[in-house]
Amino acid sequence: MEISAELVRDLREKTGAGIMDCKKALAATQLNFEAAITYLREKGLASAAKRADKATLEGTVGSYIHAGGKVGVLVEVNCETDFVAKTDEFQSFVKDIAMHIAALSPLYRQREDVPQELIEKERSIFKKQALESGKPEKVVDKMVDGKMEKFFQETCLAEQSFVKKPDVTVKEFLTEIMAKLGENMSIRRFVRFKVGEGIVRN
């Protein structure tokens, strides 16, 4: 099976994986480009899982200012070593995440951070809506589960579609960067400011 250099290059640009990994992925998937992307993502997940217990004590705080100074974001992203924290790839990732937060305004890092009382409140609202729409009782719970999934996807950073690559979530994008840099990484915390937000106008 002949694997063209152009196909390898395209796959590498799409995934950030190494040349040999791209060739291996294309060979394993019979030159199916989309399947090769999935193959590499799965491998990235595997390598990320192996490093998940590694402490992330280094990193950086990144910032992004948008809309003529009307919106600003600070985000802390951690990694294992100061060496990786200083790389262009890591710094670029931090800037991209700060820009994403400015654009999509997530409220939480991940669904585990959402307060239980808020989850119960949202479920109650969704259930009431479903019942009032006249849906049968047996499908109401499934409808509520579906709406809750959408709620998490909209409010949790990890589950949002990444603003620069909508076909992947922020969590998947993080995993790709971890596989590329070979270190465990985490988006530890963030804050988003918007001019005038929270001010009561008379």
Q: Which residue has the tokens 């840099």?
A: 181
Q: Is the pTM of this model over 0.85?
A: no
CATH level 3 topology of 58-109+156-194: Tetrahydropterin Synthase; Chain A (3.30.479)
Tokens found for residue 108: 């939480």
SS3 content of the chain, % helix, strand, coil (to 5): 55, 20, 25
Q: How does pLDDT run across 59-81, given as a tens digit for each residue?
A: 999 999 987 899 999 999 999 98
Q: How does pLDDT run across 94-128, given as a tens digit for each residue?
A: 999 999 999 999 999 999 999 999 999 998 898 88
pLDDT band at 53 (very low <50, low <70, confident <90, very high): low
The CATH classification of domain 115-154, taken from the options 1.25.40, 2.60.120, 1.10.286, 3.40.50 = 1.10.286
The answer as to CATH 3.40.50.10490 being correct for domain 5-50 is: no
Query: Is 80 exceeded by the pLDDT of residue 16?
Result: no
Query: Is 70 exceeded by the pLDDT of residue 176?
Result: yes
